[in-house]
Structure 1
Amino acid sequence: MMPLNMRFRFSPAKDGLVKVLGPLETEIMQILWQDDRSTVKKVHRRLSAQREIAYTTVMTTMSRLAEKGVLNRHREGLAYVYAPAISEEDFVTMVVRQVLDGLLDDYSDTAIEYMIDYLARNNPAELQRLQHVIQSRTG
Structure 2
Amino acid sequence: MKIPNFKTNESGLNRFFGPLESKIMNILWEGDEMPIRDVQHRLEREKAMSFNTVMTVMNRLVDKGVLQKRVEGRTSYFRPVQSKDRFLETQSKELTNELMEEFGPLVVSHMLDAIDEADEDLIAKLEQKIKAWKKER
TM-score, normalising length from structure 2?
0.89
Q: 2:118 aligns with which of 103, 119, 123?
A: 123
Shift of 1:24: 0.8
What amino acid is aligned across from residue 134 of structure 1 in structure 2? Answer: I
1:112 and 1:68 map into 2 onto residues whose CA distance is: 30
Q: How many residues align?
A: 134
- 1:116–1:127: 8 Å Cα contact kept in structure 2? no
Deviation at 1:124, TM superposition (A): 5.0
Partner of 1:101: 97
Q: Does 1:40 align with 2:29?
A: no
- TM (normalized to structure 1)? 0.88
Matched, 1:65 2:73: no
In structure 2, the residue matched to 1:112 is 108
Question: Structure 1 residue 30 and structure 2 residue 26: aligned?
Answer: yes
Percent identity between the two aligned chains: 28
Q: d(CA) in 2 for partners of 1:83 and 1:133?
A: 33
Q: Distance in 2 between matches of 1:97 and 1:136?
A: 18
1:7 Cα deviation (Å)?
A: 3.1
For 1:123, the aligned partner's letter is A
Cα shift at 1:136: 4.1
Give RMSD over aligned pairs: 1.5
Asked whether the 8 Å contact 2:68–2:78 carries over to 1, the reply is: yes
Alpha carbons 2:3, 2:16 under 8 Å: kept: no
8 Å CA contact 2:36–2:55 kept in 1: the answer is: yes
Give CA deviations for 1:3-39 in whole Å, capped at 9, x if unaligned.
x4x4331112211111111111111011111112111
Q: Which runs of 5 or more residues in structure 1 are unaligned?
A: none
Give the residue type in structure 2 aligned to 1:56. Answer: N
State the Cα deviation string for residues 111-136 of structure 1 (Å, max 9, x = none). 1000000111x115223442343234
Pair 1:9-2:5 in alignment: yes
Cα distance in 1 between the residues matched to 2:51 and 2:105 = 48
**Aligned twin of 1:53:** 49
Distance 1:76 1:131, change over 3 A: same
Unaligned runs of 5+ in 2: none
